[in-house]
Amino acid sequence: MKRVSTAQRNGREMRRATQQKEKENIGAPPEKKRKFNSISSSEVGLGNENHEVLCPSNGQAEPCASQQDVSEQLPNCKGEWEDGKMWSEQVEALLNAKFLTKAKFDIKGRNEQMTEHIKKLRSCIRHFRQIEASYVLQIEQLQNLSREEKLHWEASEVAMAEKHTQISNNLSISQDRCAALEKSLVAAEEQKKDLLATHERDVSELEASQHSCFKLSGELEKLKLDMKAVEEKVKSLQDINKRLSEYNTSLQDYNSKLQNDASSAAQENIRTQQEKIAILETLSAIRGSAAALQTQLDSAKLAAEEENKQKNLLHNDLEWIRTELQQCNEERHQYQIQNQTLVDENNRFREFTGRSASELESVTNKAIALEESHDLQSEQIRNLLHQLDASNSKLQALELSLELHKKADADHVGKVMELQLKLSEAEQRLNEGEIIRRKLHNTIQELKGNIRVFCRVRPLIVDEEDNELAHSVVQYPQAGELVGHGIDLVQAEGQKYAFSFDKVFGPDVSQENVFEEISQLVQSALDGYKVCIFAYGQTGSGKTYTMLGQPDQPAHKGLIPRSLEQIFRSSQALQCQGWKFRMQASMLEIYNESLRDLLVTPKSDSQKNDAPGIAKQYNIKHDNLGHTQVSELTLVEVTNWREVSSLLRQAAQSRSVGKTAMNEQSSRSHCVFTLRISGVNESTEQQVQGVLNLVDLAGSERLSRSGATGERLKETQAINKSLACLGDVILAIANKEQHVPYRNSKLTYLLQPCLGGDSKTLMFVNIAPDSKSLHESLCSLRFAAKVNACEIGVPRRHTTSRVVPI
């Protein structure tokens, strides 16, 4: 605690009082203020110093007692002072006072005036002395104050010095800190530089993202517009939605069941894949051992055959020996009989001794010879018997080894049968796995919403086979994942162009096998989906063969007859579940950018010569649900394949077909077969609306190669133009452009719901394998690859609960 001296306290109090007085005087009238606060020395005539006039007794700027005394002694002035007139004026007036008398020499009067005046002057002088005394007092007080202030200043000096040292200490600490801070500042500067660089980068990125943001916001705007349109659509759909809600719940159940099925199928698929791999491994092992066993079996069979041959030979030998033996036995028997007769004769001769000795001798000789030959024959027989024994033992040995071989053969056959059984089981499992894999693949493709693409390569046809220069330029991957999916075009220089699609069919694949791959897709038309299958490719590449084929020849029937057969078969089968289907077929062609009805029947003879349906104006319209209507088009109710078959025949007669340099029977138009399917389930009140579009496009061709002129040239140009429009549409969809030029051609406008809607769409790209067609094949495959990349949305099933009975 600091001690404050009394003088200091007094000085402070005086200053506080003075300040207080000044504050109070601020509001006082100017006259009074001047009176109490400041009387300049010039005003009182006491010098030039400018001092405040303070009352010496209390130190306050108030009229003090002495002043009052003076005014008492100056009765004439008292009233003026009380009136507040200024002292300076009074003193001035006092000093400038003139003495006026009535008479020029009124000395007395003048004397009185002078006396009075002197009194006033004296009182004034007294007053000023008092003021001076107060000043002196004040000076003393100020000196005291100054001393105290000095002491105070010295104390504060010391404190300041202490503080200074403290501050200098602090300063050095701060300098250290400052140095550290500078260091960190440098580091921070570097960091800042880095940060600035990253900032710049960020800024440029920001700019880029702002740019993309700008773009996106543009797109967002567009999307908002689309959204609005969609919202309007949604409103209109809400009504339908209400009706669908019930059906939806049942569908959800079905869906969840399907999802469960799908997940279990996926697991099953994984399991099957694993099993497939294991089976393939065992299969290859089994095949290896089967092959080894087969070779063993073959060699055993050969050995057995050899042994059989030997056995037969031996058998023959044996037979021969046996017959020889028989002969010998018979001869011996004969000899024995002869001998016996001779012996009998001899005996008789001996009995009847009438015979001559020569006769006897000859007979004896005969008998000896006979005996000798008999001995010889006996020897021979013995030899033959030996041989027979040897042969028999050999035969027995052979029969034993044959028996052994037969046993081994039976073992081998058993093993082979077992292996074949295993093999067929493995193959069956492999097939099942493949079916599941295909189903899953189809489901994935449907979920992805892509247009699926199958590629089909036709065989070299007779002319091409005869032409030595023409050879196949198509190759297929032989191993790995691309087997069945990959196709390579190989140029003469060895350059290879590789493509892959959902499926690739080589030239040996039959119509039936191709149909197997699309039968599920066709089936979904009955389930209420829009299905579109179209064939694309250069002229003569096999589009018509794939789509239509030869409907009357079972092996060469194309997709259209097979699909319809299946649809009618399945619809029949579904009848027992309460389903009733109504089917309407239509068939049109787009020829030189105009539509022609292929099912219209000419009414009169004159009309018969006209091209059918050419006079009518056909307009294509799509409704909100994506259903396409062609005005004036003939719709024929069909209930079985036979009816459709006759329609196809009728359409084939009406179709624009002509001979070109590249195809004997070239389709000069795009042909669209449509089957509209409406199904109602009586028991569940469900309705389905499916559509099956099967399109055989006209073939693209290079004018330079086709050499078309006249009408053919016009046709070719129209075909190429509409295919180019199809290409533009595909490109726009693949690039997700906002505007897709569907209306640029009749073909693209007609196929709009299939190319950009919610249908299940499959394209066949047909390829001619000959080297001359390499350029066209390359173009077709490139186009097909683009089509494969097109996302057209998830296919939607068109079903409702029943409203109007059909």
Residue type, 18: T
Q: What is the dihedral of CA 70, 72, 73, 79, to 10 degrees?
A: 90
SS3 640: coil
Near ligand ATP by CB under 6 A: residue from 454, 536, 545, 742: 545
Q: Judged by CB under 6 A, how many residues of this single chain contact ligand ATP?
A: 18
Nearest to 592 by CA among 743, 720, 464: 720
Smallest separation (angstroms) from ligand ATP to the CB of 503 = 14
Reported residue count of the chain is: 806
Can you tell me the distance from the alpha carbon of 777 to that of 497, in angstroms, rounded to the nearest whole number? 11
Can you tell me the distance from the alpha carbon of 607 to that of 598, in angstroms, rounded to the nearest whole number? 14
Near ligand ATP by CB under 6 A: residue from 90, 544, 571, 748: 544
Near ligand ATP by CB under 6 A: residue from 11, 486, 542, 757: 542
Please report, as residue ranges, which positions from 172 to 211 form the binding site for ligand ATP (by CB under 6 A). Answer: none
Nearest to 95 by CA among 76, 120, 77, 70: 120
Q: Which is nearer to ligand ATP, 528 or 769 (CB)?
A: 769
Residue list for the binding site for ATP: 537-544
Q: Which two tokens stand for residue 636?
A: 């024929």
Interacting span for ligand ATP (CB under 6 A) from 248-256, 423-431, 541-549, 585-593: 541-549
Interacting span for ligand ATP (CB under 6 A) from 147-155, 269-277, 533-541, 702-710: 533-541
**Residue 537 in contact with ligand ATP, rule: CB under 6 A:** yes
Q: Which two tokens stand for residue 648?
A: 């196809």
Handedness of CA 500, 506, 509, 515 (dihedral sign): positive
**Residue 534 in contact with ligand ATP, rule: CB under 6 A:** no
Near ligand ATP by CB under 6 A: residue from 67, 138, 541, 687: 541
Can you tell me the distance from the alpha carbon of 460 to that of 462, in angstroms, rounded to the nearest whole number? 7
Q: Which is nearer to ligand ATP, 484 or 626 (CB)?
A: 484
Backbone φ, ψ for residue 593 (5° rounding): 65, 20
Nearest to 547 by CA among 533, 526, 567, 528: 533
Strand bridging mode 503-505 / 452-457: parallel
Residue list for the binding site: 537-544
Interacting span for ligand ATP (CB under 6 A) from 188-196, 534-542, 583-591, 598-606: 534-542
**Residue 689 in contact with ligand ATP, rule: CB under 6 A:** no
Q: Which is nearer to ligand ATP, 87 or 545 (CB)?
A: 545
**Residue 561 in contact with ligand ATP, rule: CB under 6 A:** no
**Relative orientation angle of helices 30-37 and 6-26, to the nearest 10 degrees:** 160
Residue nearest ligand ATP, Cβ-based: 699
Instruction: Return the DSSP state at 633.
Output: -
Smallest separation (angstroms) from ligand ATP to the CB of 551 = 13
Report the DSSP beta bridge partners of residue 583. Answer: 638, 677
Instruction: Return the DSSP state at 509.
Output: -
Can you tell me the distance from the alpha carbon of 90 to that of 39, in angstroms, rounded to the nearest whole number? 12
Instruction: Return the DSSP state at 675.
Output: E
**Residue 769 in contact with ligand ATP, rule: CB under 6 A:** no
Binding mask 695-734 for ligand ATP (x = CB under 6 A): ---xx-----------------------------------
Strand bridging mode 686-696 / 799-801: antiparallel
Q: Which is nearer to ligand ATP, 36 or 501 (CB)?
A: 501
Q: Which two tokens stand for residue 780?
A: 């077709």
Please report, as residue ranges, which positions from 651 to 670 form the binding site for ligand ATP (by CB under 6 A). Answer: 663, 665-667
**Residues 636 and 647: beta-carbon distance below 8 Å:** yes
Smallest separation (angstroms) from ligand ATP to the CB of 666 = 3
Nearest 5°: CA angle at 702, between 698 and 705? 115
Smallest separation (angstroms) from ligand ATP to the CB of 504 = 13
Q: Which is nearer to ligand ATP, 321 or 535 (CB)?
A: 535
Please report, as residue ranges, which positions from 434 to 463 form the binding site for ligand ATP (by CB under 6 A). Answer: 458-459, 461
**Residue 312 in contact with ligand ATP, rule: CB under 6 A:** no
**Residue 756 in contact with ligand ATP, rule: CB under 6 A:** no
Near ligand ATP by CB under 6 A: residue from 11, 486, 540, 756: 540
Backbone φ, ψ for residue 493 (5° rounding): -80, 0
Smallest separation (angstroms) from ligand ATP to the CB of 479 = 25
Smallest separation (angstroms) from ligand ATP to the CB of 236 = 42
Residues that bind ligand ATP (CB under 6 A): 458-459, 461, 537, 539-545, 663, 665-667, 698-699, 766
